[in-house]
């Protein structure tokens, strides 16, 4: 992190978290943020994920650029891929404010946004205007007042599928009432069948990813793995935010919503490893949760991830973290004479027992 980035972060931390978030998006969209200039890459870092060519395995998780307003700049921040959204069929305001909280003592964040977004049509139009470069995907969800949430997901696929490099089915946000009920085997299978059928009807057929919660028991993980395999999901993202508050120090830990950041690291990595074992490594996995260093990313890949995503750590370390993690992975792979394929899943058995 350079001096300018430190000053910028310090200034943002002096104001309301959601206002700071919105200001950072505006600064990026206006080209005011110094950036890497493109993705960090090397022969060791390049890989293919669900048919997507990644210059490096470090991605941006959904939730930061909800409305795809800063995509062009984020594509220059060092990431190997970017995910925006979540998008719902119709615009919605989300939950009442305040709804975003920094837990500085825990290096964590709590949010209860509730899928606030400009709607699929507007977001898709912005994605259509992005420059060529790294893969950019869209996280998709259902409107809060929807009477048919499965139909909502299919609707967003039809609208945004032609312009997104991948689509992530988000049934794991804790901030939309009863959304996580869709992770049950029967409901999830029906939802995914509709999503994939809609995707298959498009001329452009982006891969379909599934994002799951970290608050799943072993049986639920096995069921999700089976459904994902049967429905031919292209990748699984593990994990979304948690409802757990175990071990937190910050007084704002009492706020409701999904917890992300450092306290989620071990919980999400254990779920990832169990999912790797449940799928036999046959479905690509993307590790998310508590990654703030190259060492954290290394552990996620050892647990079974083909790629990783970061978000909450950017609040404390800035956008330069993406390039820092990618360079760190590259250096360690070189030093240990390994490839990403060598590393992937090599520690899954150990992590699954924790």
Residue 141 near residue 153 (C-beta atoms within 8 A)? yes
Distance, in Å, from the CA atom of 328 to the CA atom of 123, rounded to the nearest integer, reads 33
Q: What is the DSSP letter of 96?
A: P
Beta-ladder partners of 58? 308
Helical packing angle, 120-128 and 149-160, nearest 10°: 20
- Burial of 111-135, coded b for 16+ CB within 10 Å and e otherwise, reads bbbbbbbbbbeebbebbeebeebbb
Q: Cα torsion at 271, 272, 277, 278 (round to 10°)?
A: 60
Identify each DSSP E strand in the chain by its residue range.
47-49, 52-54, 58-60, 81-87, 100-103, 108-111, 136-140, 167-170, 208-212, 235-238, 258-261, 285-288, 307-310
**Count of helices and strands (H, E) across the chain:** 13, 13
Helical packing angle, 265-279 and 294-302, nearest 10°: 30
The catalytic position among 47, 173, 260, 292 is: 173
Integer angstrom CA distances of residue 43 from 40, 46, 60, 220, 307: 11, 6, 21, 37, 15
Distance, in Å, from the CA atom of 151 to the CA atom of 142, rounded to the nearest integer, reads 8
Active site residue 312: no
By the 10 Å C-beta count (0-12 exposed, 13-18 middle, 19+ buried), 142 is classed as: buried
Distance, in Å, from the CA atom of 126 to the CA atom of 306, rounded to the nearest integer, reads 28
Residue carrying structure tokens 């089976």: 226
Beta-ladder partners of 310? 60
Residue 225, SS3 per DSSP? helix
What are the catalytic residues?
173
């Amino acid at each position: 992190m350079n001096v300018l980035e430190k000053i910028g972060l310090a200034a943002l931390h002096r104001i309301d978290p959601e206002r700071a978030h919105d200001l950072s998006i505006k600064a990026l969209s206006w080209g005011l943020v110094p950036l890497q200039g493109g993705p960090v890459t090397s022969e060791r870092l390049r890989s293919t994920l669900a048919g997507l060519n990644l210059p490096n395995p470090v991605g941006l998780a959904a939730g930061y650029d909800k409305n795809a307003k800063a995509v062009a700049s984020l594509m220059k921040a060092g990431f190997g891929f970017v995910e925006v959204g979540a998008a719902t069929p119709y615009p919605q305001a989300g939950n009442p404010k305040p709804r975003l909280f920094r837990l500085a003592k825990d290096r964590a964040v709590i949010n209860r946004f509730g899928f606030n977004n400009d709607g699929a049509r507007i977001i898709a139009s912005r994605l259509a205007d992005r420059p060529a470069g790294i893969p950019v995907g869209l996280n998709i969800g259902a409107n809060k007042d929807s009477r048919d949430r499965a139909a909502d997901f299919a609707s967003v696929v039809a609208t945004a599928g032609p312009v997104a490099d991948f689509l992530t089915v988000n049934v794991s946000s804790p901030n939309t009432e009863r959304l996580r009920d869709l992770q049950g085997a029967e409901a999830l299978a029906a939802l995914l069948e509709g999503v994939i059928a809609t995707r298959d009807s498009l001329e452009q057929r982006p891969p379909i990813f599934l994002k799951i919660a970290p608050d799943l028991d072993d049986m639920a993980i096995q069921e999700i793995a089976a459904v994902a395999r049967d429905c031919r999901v292209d990748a699984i993202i593990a994990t979304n935010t948690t409802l757990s508050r175990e071990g937190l120090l910050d007084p704002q830990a009492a706020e409701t919503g999904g917890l992300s950041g450092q306290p989620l690291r071990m919980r999400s990595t254990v779920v990832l490893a169990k999912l790797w074992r449940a799928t036999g490594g046959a479905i690509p996995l993307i590790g998310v949760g508590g990654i703030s260093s190259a060492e954290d990313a290394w552990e996620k890949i050892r647990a079974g991830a083909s790629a990783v995503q970061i978000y909450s750590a950017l609040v404390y370390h800035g956008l330069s973290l993406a390039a820092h993690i990618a360079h760190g992975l590259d250096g360690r792979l070189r030093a240990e004479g390994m490839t990403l394929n060598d590393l992937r899943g090599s520690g899954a058995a150990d992590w699954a027992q924790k």
